[in-house]
């Protein structure tokens, strides 16, 4: 599936991924993935459990190698992790022994940026995630939502061209999750990174994305994971989840997901 806008931040062409399972059996997780992502575009991947969303994200992150096809980021073929692609996980991944400010400053410091630049970046992203007054706290002193804000700021402080987010709000209660969705929209509007975001929630995808990609299949469903549908979302931000237009698209996305699923898998797709 192809983005109309250029230049491209990611070019995923006929990508497949086969794992070696227990006792050496081949587990074909993905087959024939075609996805171009334009610079500055916000793309969400949705689909039932096991359809390969996280696998695709890990391939783009360079944590694992593709088995077939072609996968390019802006700097060329992806052959490992790189500072151009920042990853935010569900479990925050903060350094517990560092303060909030030191966590955010960590990447720029590792890269040897001048200290004035490190200070400026840290301050900028602390403000962006509304944690100025928590700069000297430690992660354990913060709520889950606040820790995830730090994790987002920490990744953004590295100035990545592409932000890869794997169920980043999956562990949070629904109110915190909603607030972070609003925050992420605002941050994205300010910084405009390219975002590839994995979620189980169709509503979350529709709230956030310029484009929602629906995946289906997966080794446990007898066919490798693949893309079955996409929706380009042009609704103005911040989006009103109660608006009729929002719910029309949401219905279409849910139909696209459910059309592919045997009854047994329905429980693994969250409507909200
Ligand atoms: N390292 C691995 N070795 C073998 N099989 C794997 C490995 N990693 C993932 N898989 C298989 O690949 C398929 C896709 O997994 P993946 O985690 O990408 O799906 P997902 O859509 O992200 O699922 P979920 O929504 O539950 O996180 C699954 O069947 C999984 O068991």
Domain boundaries, the chain: 8-84+160-268, 95-159
**Cα-to-centroid distance, 137 and ligand 1 (Å):** 36
| Cβ of 265 below 6 Å from ligand 1 | no
Pick the CATH number of 8-84+160-268 from 1.20.900.10, 1.10.10.10, 3.40.50.300, 3.40.50.1220: 3.40.50.300
**Cα-to-centroid distance, 16 and ligand 1 (Å):** 13
Q: Which residues pair with 197 in a beta bridge?
A: 44, 165
Q: Which residues pair with 215 in a beta bridge?
A: 227
| Cβ of 77 below 6 Å from ligand 1 | no
Helix, coil or strand: residue 82: coil
Token digits of residue 270: 């969250």
CA-angle at 122, arms to 185 and 109, nearest 5°: 125
Query: Tens digit of pLDDT per residue, the chain (272 long)?
Result: 554 556 999 999 999 999 998 888 999 999 999 999 999 999 999 999 999 999 999 999 999 999 999 999 998 999 999 989 999 988 888 999 999 999 999 999 999 999 999 999 999 999 989 999 999 999 999 999 999 999 999 999 999 999 999 999 998 899 999 999 999 999 999 999 999 999 999 999 999 999 999 999 999 888 999 999 999 999 999 999 999 999 999 999 999 998 876 654 444 555 55
Distance CA 168, CA 163 (A): 11
pTM over 0.90: yes
ipTM of the complex: 0.98
């Amino acid at each position: 599936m192809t983005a109309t806008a250029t230049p491209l931040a990611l070019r995923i062409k006929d990508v497949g991924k086969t794992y070696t399972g227990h006792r050496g059996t081949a587990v074909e997780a993905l087959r024939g993935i075609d996805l171009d992502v334009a610079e500055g575009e916000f793309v969400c991947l949705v689909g039932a459990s096991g359809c390969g969303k996280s696998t695709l994200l890990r391939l783009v992150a360079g944590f694992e190698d593709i088995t077939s096809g072609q996968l390019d980021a802006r700097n060329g073929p992806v052959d490992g992790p790189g500072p151009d692609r920042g990853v935010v996980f569900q479990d925050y991944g903060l350094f517990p022994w560092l303060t909030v400010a030191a966590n955010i400053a960590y990447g720029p410091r590792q890269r040897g940026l001048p200290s004035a630049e490190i200070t400026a970046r840290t301050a900028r992203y602390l403000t962006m995630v509304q944690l100025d007054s928590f700069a000297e706290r430690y992660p354990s002193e913060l709520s889950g939502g606040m820790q995830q804000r730090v994790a987002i700021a920490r990744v953004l402080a590295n100035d990545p061209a592409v932000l890869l987010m794997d169920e980043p709000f999956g562990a949070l209660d629904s109110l915190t999750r909603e607030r972070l969705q609003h925050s992420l929209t605002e941050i994205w509007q300010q910084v405009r990174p390219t975002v590839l975001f994995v979620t189980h929630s169709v509503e979350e995808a529709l709230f956030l994305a310029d484009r929602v990609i629906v995946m289906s299949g997966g080794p446990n469903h007898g066919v490798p994971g693949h893309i079955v549908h996409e929706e380009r979302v042009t609704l103005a931000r911040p989006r009103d989840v109660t608006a009729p237009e929002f719910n029309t698209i949401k219905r279409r996305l849910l139909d696209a997901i459910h059309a592919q699923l045997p009854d047994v898998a329905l429980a693994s797709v969250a409507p909200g």
